[in-house]
Structure formats: C-alpha cells, structure tokens
Amino acid sequence: MVLEESLLFANEEDADAFIRFLREKRCRVQKITDSYIFNETLLSGPIKGIIRIFEGSNTDPRKLHEGNGNPFNVHNTAALSNLNAIHSFISKVMDKFNPGDIILTTEEYEKMKADIAADFAAKIQADPEWDKRAASLAEKLISMTGPLFAEKMPIIDCLTTMEDEGLVKTEPEGIRLAKKINPDDLPMERRASDPDEFDPETLKKFGLVLHTRIYYETETRLVIDPMIHAACTPDEVEEALDNLEIDETSLDDLLNNLVDKGVAIKAIMDVISRVGKISLPDLILEMDAVSLKLKDAEQRITAHASQKFVESMVSDLRKIGMIEGNDQKIRAMR
C-alpha cells in the first residue's frame, strides 16, 4: 500500500498518545515493537595515557594527509583539547586544595552550568540550523563550542568524573575534595573513532584498554492506515506530534509524504473529476505527466507517476472511500 505510512517513537507512551489522535480521526493503526543494536568503542584508562595516544594520532602522517577534512583528525583534535583542559583543572585542584576543602561552592557550580546553558541557547536561537549543517558528531560538537563552553565544560566533565571515582563529594555548601591523586592518573573514557588504528603495544604502554559497549534497545513503530491522507492535514499531524519524542528522520518522512502523496491524490482526483469516469489504463496514461496548480499558490506542479504507483494508489483510494467502481469505470465516491 503506497499510502500506508509509518512513524518511529522512542517510547511506547508517546506512541500511544498519537494512536489516540489517530483513532479520533477514525484512522486505524498498528503498533509494533522494533529492536535495534548499536555499539561504541571507548579508550579507558588514565587521562595522561589517553592524551598521549591522541597526541600521537594527531601527528601521524596517515591521519593528516586529508587535513582538517579528515573526521579522525577533527574528532581527536576536539577530544585532545577537552582532555588537556580537564587535566589542567584537576592539576590546579590537587595543587591548591587538601581533602576536606570546598573546591567550588554550590552557587559557583550552578552559575557555571547556567552560563553554559544560556550560551548554548543563544547559539541555537541565532542559528537554528547549525546541527543540520554538521556532517558528523565531531563537527557538531566543534561547531557548538564557543570560548565559554570550551572553558567551563571541561570543569563540569572533570568534577563528574571525580565524583564517580570518589575524589569529591557534592554537599549543600558545594563540592568538597575527598582525597588526592596524581592528576595524570584520573580515570577517563573517550570514544575511539577508529579503534583499529590503536596498536595493542602502545595501549599497554600507556595503561589503556579498548572497551566496547553494546546496547540492545527497543523502539515503537506505528504502521498507519492510508486513511491518514483523507482524515488528517499535515498541520494537524504536526500539531498532534508536538512535544512527543519521535525519530526525526521518521517524522520528516511522514510529513513530506503527507504533502507529496497529497499532491498525487489531488492529481488523480482532478483527472477523475474532469472526465467523470475513467479506466485504469487511461488513468495511468493521464498520470504519466499531469499538471496541477496548488490552491492559494502561484506555483504549478507536474506529477509523474509510474504504472505500479497508480495501480497501488487506486487500490488504496478505494479502501479509504475516495473512489469507487471497477478498473474500467473508476469514479469519485458519491
């Protein structure tokens, strides 16, 4: 069925909310639980060892021959900058403070997080499409970082890791140092963008291991009856999906299909309306290149539909009650 649609949700609760909307529109829907698997490989070990590995990667001629366009080089450069900032911060903490000291007050810590959030929100407001232009995660991370982010975010990263390792404790007064370590030995994990490039002997030399994590997850897919094209406008669907957690690609596909297939539906119905009754072979010929003008728009569209597509469209339009008759006398539903 060419008019059947699907939509992918991150959780079943949001899928159920959209099902309620569709049922109000008398549109049938099937809920399916899909599974998906993804993995990531991390470099785990002391921060100084990871820094040394990334420094070596960024000076390896095999990585630099493509310049800044090389994703490996771009990713490792960003990671190296972040790691050096973290190492600098923990080195200052270990030099300046003793166990029991407050290294950052609650007010200072909360202001730091608020400043980062405000800085990022201002960037999004100024350039809402920034993430769509970035070709990779590394480019997204680099493009979102300004001076304030680059200065403050490593501190938050460092404090989070220190708390996980029992080096600091969060108390009402602030963040208190619990014990001291050699800054070079701070345990750290960072994504290995190209795990095959890391030599086992080099990893061993710096006390590092490659740690692969495999994640097994589920997601909810809705298979939506073709009736959605007759019962709902794209704007109604978009409004019903507002604030629900949906796969962005899946959402874009659905909204585009509602518009583009809506054009095909209009083209078929215009042909039928013009002639009253038409055979399927003649409709297929008409739909090879049918021109139509959109309502309230100074724009003309020419639709080109294949034979199989028209045959499937006719079948779907019969099912949702927009047309009737056999293949020799197709007409609009009375």
pLDDT of residue 77: 74
**pLDDT band (50, 70, 90) for residue 1:** confident
Do 199 and 66 fall into the same domain?
Answer: yes
pLDDT of residue 137: 46
- What digits encode the pLDDT tens for the residues 90-119? 999 999 999 999 999 999 999 988 888 887
The three-class DSSP label of residue 101 is: coil
- Report the half-sphere exposure of 288 (CA within 13 A, side-chain side): 6
Do 68 and 112 fall into the same domain?
Answer: yes
- Report the half-sphere exposure of 300 (CA within 13 A, side-chain side): 5
The three-class DSSP label of residue 210 is: strand
Residue 144 lies in a domain: yes
Question: What's the average model confidence in pLDDT over 285-290?
Answer: 86
Query: Is the Cβ–Cβ distance between 257 and 50 less than 8 Å?
Result: no
Do 252 and 303 fall into the same domain?
Answer: yes
Residue 113 lies in a domain: yes
Residue 158 lies in a domain: yes
Do 144 and 242 fall into the same domain?
Answer: no
- What digits encode the pLDDT tens for the residues 18-29? 999 999 999 999
Question: What's the average model confidence in pLDDT over 43-55?
Answer: 91
Do 284 and 237 fall into the same domain?
Answer: yes
Do 86 and 54 fall into the same domain?
Answer: yes
Residue 296 lies in a domain: yes
Do 301 and 240 fall into the same domain?
Answer: yes
> Which positions ≥6 away from 324 have C-beta within 8 Å?
318, 330, 331, 332, 333, 334
Residue 182 lies in a domain: no
Do 195 and 247 fall into the same domain?
Answer: no
Do 121 and 253 fall into the same domain?
Answer: no
Residue 147 lies in a domain: yes
State the alpha helices, DSSP H only, in 97-146: 106-126, 130-133, 137-144
Do 324 and 225 fall into the same domain?
Answer: yes
> Domain containing 283: what range?
5-37+218-332
Helices and strands, counts by H and E, the chain:
14, 11
Distance CA 290, CA 270 (A): 9
The number of beta carbons lying within 10 Å of the beta carbon of residue 167 is: 21
Indicate left, alpha or beta for 331 from its phi (over 0: left) and psi (-120 to 50: alpha): beta
Phi, psi of 175 (to 5 degrees): -100, 120
Distance CA 26, CA 96 (A): 68
Phi, psi of 193 (to 5 degrees): -65, -25
The whole-chain average pLDDT of the chain stands at 85
Do 101 and 200 fall into the same domain?
Answer: yes
Residue 213 lies in a domain: no
Count of domains for the chain = 2
Assess whether pLDDT exceeds 50 at residue 71.
Answer: no
Do 26 and 75 fall into the same domain?
Answer: no
Between 20 and 77, the higher pLDDT residue: 20
Between 148 and 158, the higher pLDDT residue: 158
Residue 260 lies in a domain: yes
